[in-house]
Structures are given as structure tokens and as C-alpha cells.
A = this chain, B = another copy of it.
């Protein structure tokens, strides 16, 4: 699998490519699969539908890795959060965590309740081309905590940040529980057949530097250590959105650093590439235009084109209004441009 080889900086015939949120609404096939489910949570809970959505971009785009179709919020859901996805608004968690007693009500059995995800992993791995990797994933403890504490998405993270600076003990208790839940969840995905795992820290950049390492990065490394102890040959990708100014202090036992589009790839290369493989980081909005795709691809090729240990991706997820033709054009162009 060229994706796995690149994660470990072994030489590959070209740069492997996958796209964050490659299984998504921009594909009519995805929308058709989605329509078979009662709602978004039902979609996540039905392994055959999740597997179908996971496999679609492999056939359509010829990407080198599948990423399991699911949502990071299934972990809080199975810990007992009352989760609802509201059309054109996003997730709402109706019983946000604000006190110790809220925390006490959370279940410790989410790992066992997430069987539908492991079933989806098995279904995908059984059908997926042996040359293609299947990436399992989870949200970072910090990112999950933002939803659980704020009660949904947030602009200023006022409630959780107040906790960071005036109730950090309670927050650490929640993050510790999430860290154990997420670690167990990823181990079970690996046991079910995932070839690599990525932790999505979508809101790590909501924290200033010192707080980022204390409340987010540290827990991601706890999870990475636990996985590495059991599965040293499974690559671990960490992706923290908005942490580009903090790279100088990044360290730990993982394999691939996911670079967001806000962080110049040269900067990530200078600071991290001697220790980690890099994944990323084309500005997603470039997918709107073939010219912009070409320009972005050439710029990244100038920096990473000759290196082993580079995985092409966007610097954030695919958007619903992106064109599949342009996405396909991008994948082919990268395979061609980075061919040795």
C-alpha cells in the first residue's frame, strides 16, 4: 500500500492521495446512500450504508486510501450525549457537560457500543482493493469536549475556555475520560481491519499555545502511545487545525503530521519533516477551479515533490458544493506530478 509506505517514509512510485471528507455531499452517490437512512445518526449506525459511502470515492476518484465514513460525534453519542444533527445548522448536544454531576452521568461503555463502526470497518476492508489503505479515525479529546461542553459548534468557545482558565480540573477529568474512550475506539477499529488511524483535532487552534499543549496535544499523544504500544506498525496521523504557529513544540510518538492550509507547507517541512511524514495541505477552495488546482499542486510539488514521506491531501475537508470532476482532476494531476 503506497499510503502506508509513505506514512513510514519508504519510497513510493508517486505521492499517495486522499482527501479529507472525500465521502461527502459533493458526490451524488453519497447523497443517494444518505437518502436510504432515516437521519444522519441512523446513517452512521448502519454499517452497510457507512461502508457504501466509504468505498464510493475509491472508485470515483482513484484515491489511495479510504477513510471510514462516520462522524467524530458518535463517541459522545455513545457516552450518553443527546445528539441531534440539525439541517443547515450542525450538531446540537442537548445535555451539555458543565459540572461534575454531568460528567458522572457519562457512560464508560462507549467503546463496546460502537460495534456498528467496527462492522463497517470489516465490511469495507473485505471489499476494498488490497493496494488501498483503510484509515480509521476519531476526534481528539479536546475537539469532542468543545462540542460536549458548548452543546454544539461554537464561535468563541466561551464556555469551555472559561473552564480552561478557571475550572481546569473538571475539564481535565473529561479529557481524560475522552482520551480513554477514543483510544479504545481506535484500537477496536484497528482490530476490525483499519490500516492506519487519524485523530482529527479540528478545534485545537481555538487554544493559545500553552493551553493547546496542555488541553489538546497531550491527550492526542496519550492515545498515540497506547496505540503504538499495541500496534507499532499501524501509522498514526495527527491533524490539529489552526496550530501552525505551535509546530516548534510538536513532538511525540506518532508517524504523520497533518498540515492544515493555514500553515505554509515549507514551514511544516522545515520544522517537522526530519521526524515525521507530512500530509496536506492544499487550500480546499482551490478545488473550485482547475487553474487554481494546477497552481496549488505545483507549489506543493516544488516543496515536497522529491521527498519520500509525503501524502497529498487538502488542508481541510471537501465541501458540499465542490465538483467531482475537479476532485478527480486533482487526484490524477497529483499522481502524475509526483510520479518518480
Contact = CB atoms under 8 A, between A and B. Distances in A.
17 contacts: A158-B319, A158-B321, A161-B285, A161-B288, A162-B285, A162-B288, A164-B285, A165-B289, A165-B291, A166-B289, A166-B292, A208-B261, A208-B283, A245-B245, A245-B263, A245-B264, A246-B264
Interface residues of A, number: 33
Given A161-B288, A319-B158, A262 B166 contact: no
A267 B243 CA distance: 14
A165 to B, nearest CB: 4
Interface in A210-242: 210-211, 242
A130 interface: no
A10 interface: no
A292 B164 CA distance: 9
Given A244-B244, A319-B156, A165 B286 contact: yes
B262 A165 contact: no
Contacts of A244: 244-245
A209 interface: yes
A90 to B, nearest CB: 9
In the complex, the 5 A-B pairs of residues with the closest C-beta atoms, listed nearest first = A161-B285, A165-B292, A166-B289, A208-B283, A244-B245
A205 interface: yes
Contact of A245 (B164, B262, B286, B289): B262
A247 to B, nearest CB: 9
Given A165-B289, A166-B292, A292-B165, A245 B267 contact: yes
Nearest to A242: B262
Interface string A286-305: 10110110000001000000
A165 B321 CA distance: 14
Contacts of A209: 264
Given A161-B288, A166-B289, A166-B292, 14 more contacts: A156-B319, A157-B285, A158-B319, A161-B285, A164-B285, A165-B288, A165-B289, A165-B291, A208-B261, A208-B283, A209-B264, A242-B262, A245-B267, A246-B264
A156 B202 CA distance: 14
A246 B156 CA distance: 23
Contacts of A157: 285
Interface in A252-267: 261-264, 267
Nearest to A265: B209
- Residue from A209, A210, A299 with most neighbouring chain B CB atoms (10 Å): A209
Contact of A285 (B165, B210, B264, B288): B165
Contacts of A211: 283
Of A161, A165, A244, A286, the most chain B CB neighbours within 10 A belong to: A165
Contacts of A210: 299
